[in-house]
């Protein structure tokens, strides 16, 4: 009989030379309590760790530099990029389905607005999204908290993501909001099932040509930072669950560096 596949968001990573055990955990950028089903367990592993690594230094999440790059360049609005009739149609569809007012929020980049649409579909049971909650937990326990990448590198990545491609994605959502809602609910369902393999496939497919910039290249930098600290210190790495699987995923990259990687169910 074929062995039933088990899924998990949590993995133990052992340094073969020193024997030090670290952990990696797949996060999701939501505040809905439904996705926090392993929170207490994860906090226990953070307690045992020396270093906490997030995707970037999350103390900078609300900084002026980050907020500036989240907005369209030169104080522009979506109206400056989309013909009037098409904008009005998009605005009406987005407001009807998600309650998001593009006139008020159209100064943000389309990718940011797309994140707002996703968040609007779920409850805000927690004050902050999961990655920031874990970061604050580690800080409160006086762990060394660092970013796998710098804030500056995050800003460069956001600037490299073509506005034209972002606009197309947002306009496509407006054309079929029900399809988008189904897609997002399916992704969240995969997270709840802890199916990081399928979650990775869906994430990569949605990014198209930007998959290297937004995922693969970043995976290499994430693993480099992990490797720097994990020889003689216990590390807890918390990054988006979409980064885990695939030939260029962080689990594969860790194995290629000689780490023993084992699922924690």
Q: Render pLDDT for 24-64 as a digit per residue (tens, 0 to 9).
A: 999 999 999 999 999 999 999 999 999 999 999 998 877 76
For residue 149, what pLDDT band results from cuts at 50, 70 and 90? very high
For residue 2, what pLDDT band results from cuts at 50, 70 and 90? very low
HSE at residue 101, side-chain half, CA atoms within 13 A, is 2
C-alpha 13/C-alpha 251 separation (Å) is 9
Q: Residue 1 above 70 pLDDT?
A: no
Q: Residue 157 above 90 pLDDT?
A: no
Other residues' Cβ atoms within 10 Å of the Cβ of residue 136: 15
pLDDT at 4: 45
Take residue 195 and report the two structure tokens written for it.
């199916």
The share of the chain scoring above pLDDT 70, in percent, equals 97
For residue 6, what pLDDT band results from cuts at 50, 70 and 90? confident
**Eight-state DSSP code of residue 80:** G
Cβ atoms of 118 and 184 closer than 8 Å: yes
Q: What's this model's pTM, rounded to 2 decimal places?
A: 0.92
Q: Which residue has the tokens 């918390």?
A: 238
C-alpha 103/C-alpha 101 separation (Å) is 5
For residue 154, what pLDDT band results from cuts at 50, 70 and 90? confident
For residue 3, what pLDDT band results from cuts at 50, 70 and 90? very low
Read off the pLDDT of each residue in 210-220 and give the average, rounded to a whole number. 92
C-alpha 216/C-alpha 154 separation (Å) is 14
Cβ atoms of 39 and 25 closer than 8 Å: no
Task: Please name the helix (run of DSSP H) or strand (run of DSSP E) that holds residue 52, with its range, or none.
Answer: strand 51-54
């Amino acid at each position: 009989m074929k062995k039933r596949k088990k899924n998990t968001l949590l993995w133990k990573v052992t340094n073969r030379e020193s024997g030090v055990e670290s952990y990696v955990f797949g996060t999701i950028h939501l505040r809905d309590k439904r996705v926090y089903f392993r929170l207490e367990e994860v906090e226990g592993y953070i307690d045992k760790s020396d270093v906490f690594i997030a995707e970037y230094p999350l103390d900078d999440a609300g900084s002026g530099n980050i907020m500036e790059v989240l907005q369209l360049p030169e104080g522009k609005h979506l109206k400056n990029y989309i013909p009037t009739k098409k904008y009005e149609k998009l605005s009406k569809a987005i407001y009807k389905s998600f309650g998001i007012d593009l006139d008020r929020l159209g100064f943000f980049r389309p990718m940011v607005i797309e994140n707002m649409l996703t968040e609007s579909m779920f409850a805000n049971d927690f004050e902050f999204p999961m990655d920031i909650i874990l970061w604050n937990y580690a800080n409160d326990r006086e762990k060394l908290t660092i970013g796998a990448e710098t804030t500056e590198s995050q800003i460069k990545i956001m600037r490299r993501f073509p506005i034209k491609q972002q606009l197309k994605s947002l306009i496509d959502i407006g054309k079929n909001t029900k399809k988008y809602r189904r897609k997002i609910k399916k992704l969240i369902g995969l997270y709840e099932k802890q199916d990081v393999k399928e979650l990775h496939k869906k994430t990569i497919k949605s990014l198209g040509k930007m998959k290297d910039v937004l995922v693969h290249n970043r995976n290499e930098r994430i693993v480099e930072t992990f490797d720097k600290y994990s020889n003689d210190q216990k590390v807890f790495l918390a990054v988006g669950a979409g980064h885990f699987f695939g030939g260029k995923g962080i689990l594969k990259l860790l194995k290629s560096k000689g780490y023993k990687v084992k699922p924690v169910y």
